[in-house]
Amino acid sequence: QVQLVESGGGSVQAGGSLRLSCAASGRTISNYVMGWFRQAPGKEREFVASISQSGGATYYADSVKGRFTISRDNAKNTVYLQMNSLKAEDTAVYYCAVQARLMGFKTTPSHYDYWGQGTQVTVSS
């Protein structure tokens, strides 16, 4: 069993930045692809970014490419999402999750086994 806790969310004006953290406990996440998703009110949960086990490869949704950076520190059992040039459309609850499959980057929530409680990001214009 692994527990995930997101933090770092808050309110920011358009153009600003936030850094989200996902702290894992219970077991190491170093063997797993990790992903970030987000969900706005009334919308489906959507893929944001994912990162390979060692951090050597990343994958981003087109909507955040060039603005967001996913990273990880396996020694700290933690995954990060640096969010720059934020837009109102980025407003959502952000979740980190563990990808069930060991290979490739999956973009649907059904491919992820464990989820954090989420952290709210609000971007005002």
The C-alpha atoms of residue 66 and residue 69 are separated, in whole angstroms, by 8
pLDDT tens by residue, 62-114: 999 999 999 999 999 999 999 999 999 999 999 999 999 998 999 999 999 99
| Confidence category of residue 1, pLDDT binned at 50, 70, 90 | confident
Cα 28 to Cα 46: distance, rounded to the nearest angstrom:
25
Query: Other C-beta atoms within 10 Å of 75: how many?
Result: 7
100 and 113 Cβ atoms separated by less than 8 Å = yes
Alpha-carbon distances, residue 29 vs 1, 60, 79 (angstroms): 11, 20, 9
Q: What is the pLDDT of residues 4-36, one digit of tens each?
A: 999 999 999 999 999 999 999 999 999 999 999
More confident residue, 78 or 1: 78
Contact present, 29 and 45 (Cβ < 8 Å): no
- At 45 the three-state DSSP class reads coil
The residue behind tokens 């929530």 is: 109
Interval 76-85: pLDDT, tens: 999 999 999 9
The residue whose two tokens read 């981003």 is 60
